[in-house]
């Protein structure tokens, strides 16, 4: 525990920092949960959606009459039936002046633009009957060409997804003199990386229940954002905000996928309004794979200019980002969240970023765990490994030569962000020791010497990220439509128990436990005496919800701030009751005492005194309760070093992670158990991108990976145990010293794994394997490699097979292919590794 | 419509069901046994795992009529006399759940796994739970929990059998 925390947590209890078992678990391990799909209301009807089988088509005829006559069917509607009422699904992040935000009807009216887009719906007495009746709806389509490839979409004469064209926006950002940095640079690395499209795949499918008493509406939804959803639904449907209550009951994971205002949420409300009865919709997994927003899908060109000694001079990034068919809640903002991160943890003279958002006829993309930052981290960390290889330098040594040293914090990066604190050296040293880096490098050299068909690769990822979203002013300067503050209330009940209301909205993160720990220390009350309320806009009237690793770094700090206010009020009351000056009152372990005397009142006694209100100071309201809102001045910057040792069977393409080490620095820690769990889960999702997952569309624009049999979410059998540790450098930008942990593992692990695979295959002249690095891709890469390379003279940088390595502009290959002899170079890095 | 009798967590139900009704929908929509969730529609995720006549089964892949005359135990029926099953406790102790959506199925599958192998290695747990997906935890703590639960269950059955061997004074 840090001094800073002790200061803010004067109770002897010291709950903060303890590995408390979670309060949430009791209902979850016994099945007494409230998932949205559990909710049954009297007279409730079930909704099913008919979805477009075409990627791009005009709707020429709709006939719902046969479906209407089916047993149990209450109503059947097409998009046209709601055309005047359904509005347009919102995009809250108009990133640029040139952004095109197309109309996005919840049910398509004239044209469909991706497979899975809702075109009609059935309301029936049970789920089976609703699904049955879908078959009887007749829709005629006039096919249009699908638009599937971003580069082709931008080409002259391409079929247009929307009338305004296929370019959604352009966005640029620069720092320093990039031309100067690249001019005469002794080494320039240019690479193109494909961030494949991913499906977030929270285990709980989306579900919505809507009901009305004729005047007011309640919407239950499996959402991460009940507060934002309420505002957006009020604006979209015209239901006044004060007549709309949104409840996020137990929510089974989100990872960004439930940070959305969905067609189904809007339509559930409209159907309830029209029919005057409760409705429920729950998606099937196959429906979800088609229509829960997807993640990533960027084409990244990155160039790094460096000196021969490895010093990075500048980084240039050019992105194409696939928006899919529409801009959803924060679709165009996702690449911007990475725009300030392609410099990573490194010092440099210049930086240049440009991004073009592109419309295609696919499911829209939007936030998925890390949103923009995993992409950025992947590109820079992959490029650093390429640079190290090019220079014949150990990849850790290259990073060491470029990273911000711990004495240099706070450090303002080339992107203008001020990293408040960190210690990259400490995290890296720890990680190297845990992995046994030198020994593994020696083994690697041995396997290379022996031409072992099973090669060993070691991947390095020294990452940071910006999270704790976010300072409202910064969001404003980036054209985001809302703020980044968070709200909390702390209520002292007459019996001395405490209710905490938080505006962040958990779906697995353990807020009830962590917030209780913060409050227990701040107010000196038992952990068990605190309950945490959330996720219902009638209970928690203000909030900005949960995403961007913000809950603790913003919401937790708001809880602490509310506790401080409660304490101030309690102190005033204690002074009055003890007939002392407030200046003489000390607070420790839940008791307010007159300094130097034994006289005191516990916080519980004071709470009861406000309930009775018989003897309060003049003008003192009979309560100790307080509200607080925290708006951070800066982002927080967790960092860490992840190392992956992987064995690659060059004969079969199979890869097996042998050891995965993660040393993360997430600042001060409220609950180490929860932090470790978040890191584990994050790493697993990052590895999943590296090795397993990809949303695949065919040439007609049909999604091929609609089920969990096709979209390969890793099981326990596919993953290793992770070795995790932490260094603790408190954030200086919030009084808890915390940095956020929800996304860190996912951001760090993808490049660690791919770097390891490429490292294993270096002797074959391989410098990239496209994600996901499946056995087939690895096998092809090795098979297509020139067998002469191993002994050959100049092939170190040769780009092989399926990889996306060469510069898209077809520049001189010497730009990116190294002059060093592969074999020599390898010996070189092994020697360096061994020397450390 | 066929009439079936099924015992769920110790209560006998008699229900008329459509032949196509899935067991999981019978449990959730008809009997209010919502502790068992649904995570997919292809039998891949394991969220819906229950014990059907003492063996784990994915209740999304079983028709209600197939369960006629059967005994079903769900996660809601594991606790005894207000005390959690050792596996439930182990999941809590090892922080083997985050959102908890996979947890009921994971716990049921874990208990089933121990029928064949009361002291599984890490490897065996990972292989044994291959049919249950978790998106939150990265599985490390689930593996730990299953081994902890296994140890506790073995300890209990050992002390139970030794209690039986010792004659009453
Ligand atoms: S819901 Fe039964 S296996 Fe997924
Ligand atoms: S705990 Fe969320 S899916 Fe397993």
Q: Residues 6 or more apart from A587 whose CB is under 8 A from it?
A: A10, A524, A567, A570, A571, A593
Which ligand is in closest contact with the Cα of B138? 2
Of A186, A59, A666, residue with least CA distance to A423: A666
What are phi and psi for residue A685, nearest 5 degrees? -70, -35
Residue at token pair 């208990």: B111
Regions of chain B with pLDDT less than 70: 164-169
CB–CB of B76 and A31 under 8 A?
Answer: yes
Q: For chain A, what is the largest distance between any 2 Cα atoms, rounded to a whole number of angstroms?
A: 92
Kindly list the residues from chain B whose CB atom is less than 8 angstroms away from the CB atom of residue A204.
Answer: 37, 39, 99, 101
pLDDT of residue B162: 79
CB atoms within 10 A of CB A433: 13
Q: Is A256 an interface residue toward B (CB < 8 Å)? A: no
Q: In the A/B pair of chains, how many CB contacts fall below 8 A?
A: 180
CB–CB of B130 and A21 under 8 A?
Answer: no
Sort A106 into a burial class: Cβ within 10 Å, 0-12 / 13-18 / 19+: buried
Q: Is the dihedral of CA A531, A682, A368, A199 positive or negative?
A: negative
Q: How far apart are the first and last CA of chain B?
A: 58
**Chain B, nearest residue to A288 by Cα:** B40
**Chain A, nearest residue to B77 by Cα:** A30
Q: Is A126 an interface residue toward B (CB < 8 Å)? A: yes
Three-state secondary structure along A95-154? CCCCCCCCCCCCCCCCEECCCCCEEEEEEECCHHHHHHHHCCCEEEEEECCCCCCHHHHH
Q: Is A811 helix (H, G, I), strand (E, B) or coil?
A: coil
pLDDT of residue A796: 40
Mutate to test the pocket of ligand 1, among B37, B44, B75 (most ligand atoms within 8 A of CB): B44
Q: How far is CA A832 from the centre of its chain?
A: 36
Of A270, A225, A218, A222, residue with least CA distance to A244: A218
Of A491, A508, A514, A616, residue with least CA distance to A562: A491
Kindly list the residues from chain A whose CB atom is less than 8 angstroms away from the CB atom of residue B126.
Answer: 715-717, 719
Tell which of B121, B138, B143 to mutate to test the A interface (max A CBs under 10 Å).
B138
Q: Is A717 an interface residue toward B (CB < 8 Å)? A: yes
Q: At what angle are helices A395-402 and A373-391 packed, to 10 degrees? A: 110
CB atoms within 10 A of CB A617: 11
Mutate to test the pocket of ligand 2, among A203, A509, A678 (most ligand atoms within 8 A of CB): A203
Q: Residues 6 or more apart from A528 whose CB is under 8 A from it?
A: none
pLDDT digits (tens, 9 = 90+) for A443-461: 999 999 999 999 999 999 9
CB–CB of B76 and A30 under 8 A?
Answer: yes
Q: Which atom of ligand 2 is nearest to the CA of B135?
A: 3
How far is it, in rounded angstroms, from Cα A537 to Cα A509? 19
State the Cα torsion A102-A108-A109-A114 to the nearest 10°: 80
Q: Which protein residue's CA is at the shortest distance from atom 3 of ligand 1? A: B43
- Residue ranges and CATH numbers for the domains of chain B are 3-77 (3.10.20.30), 86-160 (1.10.150.120)
Contact A253, A369 (CB under 8 A): no
pLDDT of residue A554: 96
pLDDT of residue A797: 38
Mutate to test the pocket of ligand 1, among B27, B37, B45 (most ligand atoms within 8 A of CB): B45
Q: Is B44 in the pocket of ligand 1 (CB under 6 A)?
A: yes
CB–CB of A201 and B135 under 8 A?
Answer: yes
Q: What is the distance in A from the centroid of ligand 1 to the CA of A711?
A: 15
Q: Is A66 an interface residue toward B (CB < 8 Å)? A: no
ipTM above 0.90, yes or no: yes
How far is it, in rounded angstroms, from Cα A118 to Cα A116? 6
Kindly list the residues from chain A whose CB atom is less than 8 angstroms away from the CB atom of residue B74.
Answer: 31
Mutate to test the pocket of ligand 2, among A29, A508, A674 (most ligand atoms within 8 A of CB): A508
Q: What is the distance in A from the centroid of ligand 2 to the CA of A65?
A: 42
Interface of A with B in 722-741 (CB under 8 A): 722
What letters, b where the CB count within 10 A reaches 16 and e where it falls short, cover A219-258? Answer: bbbbbbbbbbbbbbbbebbebeeeebbbbbbbbbbbbbbb
CB–CB of A707 and B97 under 8 A?
Answer: no
Q: Is B40 in the pocket of ligand 1 (CB under 6 A)?
A: yes
Q: Is B106 helix (H, G, I), strand (E, B) or coil?
A: helix
Q: Is A579 an interface residue toward B (CB < 8 Å)? A: no
Tell which of B78, B125, B135, B146 to mutate to test the A interface (max A CBs under 10 Å).
B135
Q: Is A672 an interface residue toward B (CB < 8 Å)? A: no
Which ligand is in closest contact with the Cα of B104? 2
CB–CB of B143 and A24 under 8 A?
Answer: no
Of A416, A404, A266, A259, residue with least CA distance to A351: A416
The HSE-up count of residue A404 (CA atoms within 13 Å, CB side) is 26
Mutate to test the pocket of ligand 2, among A205, A253, A509 (most ligand atoms within 8 A of CB): A253
Residue among B40, B135, B138 whose CB faces A285 most closely = B40
Residue among B127, B132, B137 whose CB faces A681 most closely = B137
Q: Is A180 helix (H, G, I), strand (E, B) or coil?
A: helix
Q: Is the dihedral of CA A668, A672, A675, A680 positive or negative?
A: positive
DSSP state of A836: -
Q: Residues 6 or more apart from A650 whose CB is under 8 A from it?
A: A453, A454, A455, A761, A764, A778, A782
Q: Which atom of ligand 2 is nearest to the CA of B47?
A: 3
Residue A757 in tokens = 């695979």
Distance of CA A29 to CAs A19, A558, A609, B92, B104, Å? 19, 30, 39, 8, 6
pLDDT of residue A664: 98
The rounded average pLDDT for each run of 10 residues, N- to C-terminus, in chain A (836 residues) is: 36 82 98 98 98 98 97 97 97 97 98 98 97 98 98 97 98 97 98 98 98 97 98 97 98 98 98 98 98 98 98 98 98 97 98 98 98 98 98 98 98 97 98 98 97 97 95 95 96 98 96 98 97 97 95 97 98 97 96 93 98 97 98 97 98 97 98 98 98 98 98 98 98 96 97 98 96 97 81 38 33 31 32 32
Distance of CA A468 to CAs A4, A545, A553, A642, Å? 19, 12, 5, 21
Residue A227 in tokens = 């507060």
Contact A254, A575 (CB under 8 A): no
**Chain A, nearest residue to B44 by Cα:** A708
Tell which of A25, A127, A280, A685 to mutate to test the B interface (max B CBs under 10 Å).
A25
Q: Is A699 an interface residue toward B (CB < 8 Å)? A: no
- Residue ranges and CATH numbers for the domains of chain A are 37-144+205-251+258-291 (3.90.1170.50), 369-466+635-835 (3.30.365.10), 485-630 (3.30.365.10)
Q: What is the distance in A from the centroid of ligand 1 to the CA of B44?
A: 6
CB–CB of A716 and B78 under 8 A?
Answer: no
pLDDT of residue A330: 98
Specify the length of chain B in residues.
169
Q: For chain B, what is the largest distance between any 2 Cα atoms, rounded to a whole number of angstroms?
A: 58
Contact A807, A832 (CB under 8 A): no
Q: Residues 6 or more apart from B121 whose CB is under 8 A from it?
A: none
pLDDT of residue A320: 98
Q: What is the distance in A from the centroid of ligand 2 to the CA of A551?
A: 19
The HSE-up count of residue A549 (CA atoms within 13 Å, CB side) is 30
pLDDT of residue B165: 62
CB–CB of A684 and B78 under 8 A?
Answer: no
Residue among B34, B95, B101 whose CB faces A252 most closely = B101
Q: Is B60 in the pocket of ligand 1 (CB under 6 A)?
A: yes
What are phi and psi for residue B62, nearest 5 degrees? -125, 135
pLDDT of residue A150: 98
How far is it, in rounded angstroms, from Cα A413 to Cα B153? 55
Q: Residues 6 or more apart from A626 whose CB is under 8 A from it?
A: A489, A490, A562, A563, A565, A566, A569
Lining ligand 2 with CB less than 6 A are A 203, 253, 508; B 97-103, 134-137
């Amino acid at each position: 525990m840090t001094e800073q925390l002790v200061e803010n947590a004067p109770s002897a209890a010291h709950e903060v920092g303890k590995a408390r078992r979670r309060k949430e678990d009791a209902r979850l391990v016994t099945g007494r949960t409230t998932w949205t799909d559990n909710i049954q209301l009297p007279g409730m009807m079930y909704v099913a959606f008919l979805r477009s089988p075409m990627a791009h088509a005009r709707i020429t005829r709709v006939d719902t009459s046969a479906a209407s006559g089916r047993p149990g069917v209450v109503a059947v509607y097409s998009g046209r039936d709601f055309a005047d009422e359904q509005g347009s699904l919102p995009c809250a992040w108009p990133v640029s002046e040139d952004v095109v935000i197309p109309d996005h009807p919840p049910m398509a009216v004239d044209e469909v633009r991706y497979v899975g887009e809702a075109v009609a719906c059935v309301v029936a007495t049970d789920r089976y009957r609703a699904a049955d009746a879908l078959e009887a709806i007749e829709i005629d389509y006039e096919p249009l060409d699908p638009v599937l490839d971003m580069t082709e979409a931008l080409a002259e004469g391409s079929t247009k997804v929307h009338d305004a064209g296929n370019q959604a926006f352009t966005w640029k950002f620069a720092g320093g003199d990039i031309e100067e940095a690249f001019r005469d640079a002794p080494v320039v690395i240019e690479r193109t990386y494909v961030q494949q499209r991913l499906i977030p795949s929270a285990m709980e499918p989306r579900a919505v229940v809507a009901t009305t008493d004729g005047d007011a509406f309640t919407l239950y939804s499996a959402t991460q954002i009940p507060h934002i959803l309420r505002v957006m639904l009020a604006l979209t449907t015209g239901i006044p905000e004060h007549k709309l209550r949104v409840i996020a009951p137990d929510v089974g994971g989100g990872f960004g996928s439930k940070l959305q205002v969905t067609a189904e949420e809007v339509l559930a409300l409209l159907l309830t309004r029209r029919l005057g009865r409760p409705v429920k919709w729950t998606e099937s997994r196959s429906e979800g794979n088609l229509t829960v927003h997807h993640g990533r899908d960027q084409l990244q060109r990155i160039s790094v200019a460096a000196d021969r000694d490895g010093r990075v001079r500048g980084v240039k990034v050019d992105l194409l980002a696939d928006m899919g068919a529409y801009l959803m809640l924060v679709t165009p903002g996702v690449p911007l969240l990475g725009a300030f991160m392609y410099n990573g943890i490194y010092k440099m003279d210049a930086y240049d970023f440009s991004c073009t958002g592109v419309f295609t006829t696919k499911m829209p993309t939007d936030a998925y765990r890390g949103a923009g930052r995993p992409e950025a981290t992947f590109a820079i960390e992959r490029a650093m490994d390429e640079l190290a290889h090019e220079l014949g330098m150990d990849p850790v040594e290259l990073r060491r030569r470029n990273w911000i040293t711990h004495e240099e914090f706070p450090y303002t990066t080339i992107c203008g962000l001020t990293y408040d604190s960190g210690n990259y050296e400490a995290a890296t040293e720890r990680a190297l020791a845990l992995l046994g880096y030198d020994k593994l490098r020696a083994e690697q050299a041995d396997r290379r010497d022996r031409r072992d068909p099973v090669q060993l690769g070691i991947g390095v990822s020294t990452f940071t990220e910006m999270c704790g979203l976010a300072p409202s002013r910064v969001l404003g300067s980036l054209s985001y439509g809302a703020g980044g503050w968070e709200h909390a209330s702390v209520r002292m009940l007459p019996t001395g128990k405490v209710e905490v209301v938080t505006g962040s909205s958990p779906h697995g993160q353990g807020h009830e436990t962590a917030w209780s720990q913060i409050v227990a220390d701040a107010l000196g009350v038992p952990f068990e005496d605190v309950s945490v309320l959330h996720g219902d806009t009638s209970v928690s009237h203000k909030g900005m919800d949960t995403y961007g690793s913000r809950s603790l770094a913003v919401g937790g700090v708001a809880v602490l701030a509310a506790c401080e206010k409660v304490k101030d009020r309690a102190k005033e009351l204690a002074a009055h009751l003890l007939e002392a000056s407030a200046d003489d009152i000390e607070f420790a372990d839940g008791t307010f005492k007159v300094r130097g005397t034994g006289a005191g009142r516990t916080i519980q006694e004071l709470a009861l005194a406000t309930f009775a209100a018989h003897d309060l100071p003049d003008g003192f309201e009979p309560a100790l309760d307080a509200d607080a809102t925290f708006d951070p001045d800066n982002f927080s910057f967790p960092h860490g070093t992840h190392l992956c040792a992987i064995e690659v069977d060059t004969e079969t393409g199979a890869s097996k992670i042998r050891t995965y080490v993660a040393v993360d620095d997430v600042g001060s820690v409220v609950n180490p158990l929860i932090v470790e769990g978040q890191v584990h889960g994050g790493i697993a999702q990052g590895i999943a991108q590296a090795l397993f997952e990809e949303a695949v569309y065919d040439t007609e624009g049909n999604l091929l990976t609609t089920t969990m049999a096709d979209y390969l979410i890793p099981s326990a059998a596919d993953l290793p145990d992770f070795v995790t540790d932490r260094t603790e450098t408190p954030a200086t930008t919030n009084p808890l010293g915390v940095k956020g942990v929800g996304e860190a593992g996912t951001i760090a692990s993808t490049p660690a794994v791919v770097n390891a695979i490429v490292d294993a295959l270096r002797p074959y002249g391989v410098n990239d394997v496209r994600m996901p690095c499946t056995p087939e891709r690895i096998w092809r890469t090795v098979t297509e490699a020139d067998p002469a390379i191993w002994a050959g003279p100049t092939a170190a940088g040769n780009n092989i097979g399926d990889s996306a390595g060469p510069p898209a502009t077809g520049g001189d290959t010497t730009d990116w292919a190294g002059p060093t002899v592969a074999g020599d170079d390898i010996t070189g890095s092994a020697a360096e590794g061994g020397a450390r | 419509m066929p009439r079936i009798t099924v015992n769920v967590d110790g209560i006998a139900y008699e229900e008329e069901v459509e032949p196509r009704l899935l067991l999981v929908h019978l449990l959730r929509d008809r009997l209010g046994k919502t502790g068992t969730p649904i995570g997919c529609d292809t039998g891949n995720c394991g969220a819906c795992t229950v014990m059907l006549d003492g063996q784990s089964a994915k209740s999304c892949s079983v028709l209600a009529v197939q369960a006629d005359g059967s005994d079903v135990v769900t996660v809601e029926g594991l606790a005894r006399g207000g005390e959690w099953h050792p596996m439930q406790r182990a999941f809590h102790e090892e922080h083997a759940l985050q959102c908890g959506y996979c947890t009921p199925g994971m716990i049921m599958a874990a208990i089933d796994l121990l029928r064949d192998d009361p002291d599984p290695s890490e490897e065996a747990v990972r292989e044994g739970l291959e049919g249950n997906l978790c998106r939150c935890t990265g599985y490390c703590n689930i593996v730990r929990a299953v081994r902890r639960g296994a140890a506790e269950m073995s300890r209990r059955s050992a002390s139970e059998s030794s209690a039986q061997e010792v004659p009453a004074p």
